[in-house]
Amino acid sequence: MVGLVPVFVAGMLFLSIDSRGAESVPRKAVTARLAAKWPATPLLLEASEFIAEESSEKFWQFLETVKELTIYKKGVSEHSYYNLLLKKAGQFLSNLQINLLKFSLSLRAFSPTIQMFQQIAADEPPPRGCNAFVVIHGKSTCKINEIKKLLKTAASRPKPYLFKGDHKFPTLKEPALVVILYAEVGTKDFATFHKVLSEKAQKEEIVYILRHFVQKPSSEKMYLSGYGVELAIKSTEYKAVDESQAEATRNGTEEEDNKESEVQGFLFDSLMQNYPDLKDNLKELRKYLIESTDDTEPLKLWELQDISLQAASQILSTPVYSALKVMKDIAQNFPVKARSYSIYPHSDHYR
């Protein structure tokens, strides 16, 4: 009895099978969707990362225009919010870059980056009940009025480690104190912290670092695009095969593939046809000639003058049914067989 076992290789894979068509001839379609292990990330944050790839200066300018953009999300549809997001980004991007941004958002290309920041924030860990918080040399708080107090004692604590992907507020000098803000861009909490920290950074009192942090992640799954999914159908039926015939066929194929038209002037395929009783001896001779010949010895300059014509002559002088095989052999093994081609006679009319 035949058993069919579907095998999937993917991270988290969800399949839905939908039957369509007429009742007499049912048609089944298999739809595969690949979901990441993290929840869906906000498009606004992904768009900000796209702009950051273009320019750090444009990134911070973009944040100024979308400081509280999420308040518009509640009263409009997702499509309208998406268009609003593109309109805001269009202030800093060209038409071509906007098209690339759309493509990036459709692929969710920067979602892993947002999740990376989310994991970094989880390692702090965030203060309980805080939508946004700052970390100042190992001490964290989500209260604006405590920032000044933590800054006074920050110099006695070691500086935090900064990652390559961190967003650093542009300043002329780099002060000794580092303040890291974990917040979701576009929220009121972000706008409040950003106003205070950006002012201090402009006064060169602190180094202001921003890392994305979503206090309440989405309940939707993060479906990924641009990934291939393979559905392999494995048959568990046992089939009876005549091994002797299979071995003979395999040997015949290998012999045909390994047979060479010419080795050191001997046309072994013709010799084997004319002297079938000496076939085994001819095979041994061909093997010996191949193994004992050092064709990698450098050729003289005069030997290379007409080598291309000599190789072409050998192809043209071969029967039509073998010409393609000879040309393939020359193309794949030219350095090794160059010496034998250099002594091959050719006609001047090929020039």
Mean pLDDT of 50-60: 95
- Helix (H) or strand (E) holding 247, with range, is helix 243-258
* pLDDT, tens only, 217-264: 999 999 877 666 666 666 666 666 666 665 555 555 545 544 455 666
Q: Report the chain's terminal Cα–Cα distance, integer Å.
A: 66
Model confidence at 315, pLDDT cuts 50, 70, 90, reads: confident
Residue whose structure tokens are 């039957």: 19
Single-letter residue type at 159: K
Determine contact, residues 182/133, Cβ cutoff 8 Å: yes
Q: Is 82:43 a contact under the CB 8 Å cutoff?
A: yes
Looking at the DSSP bridge assignments, the partners of residue 266 are: 263
DSSP tag of 127: P
Q: Coil, helix or strand for 154?
A: helix
Tell me if 214 sits within 8 A of 115, measured CB to CB.
Answer: no
Which position has the higher pLDDT, 30 or 218? 218
Average pLDDT, the chain: 80
Q: How far, CA to CA in Å, does 108 sit from each of 36, 62, 111, 121?
A: 11, 19, 5, 21
Nearest CA to 172 among 205, 148, 210, 195?
205
pLDDT digit string, tens, across residues 96-142? 999 999 999 998 999 999 999 999 999 988 888 899 999 999 999 99
Cis before residue 125, ω within 30 degrees of 0? Answer: yes
Question: What is residue 258's predicted lDDT score, i.e. its pLDDT?
Answer: 47
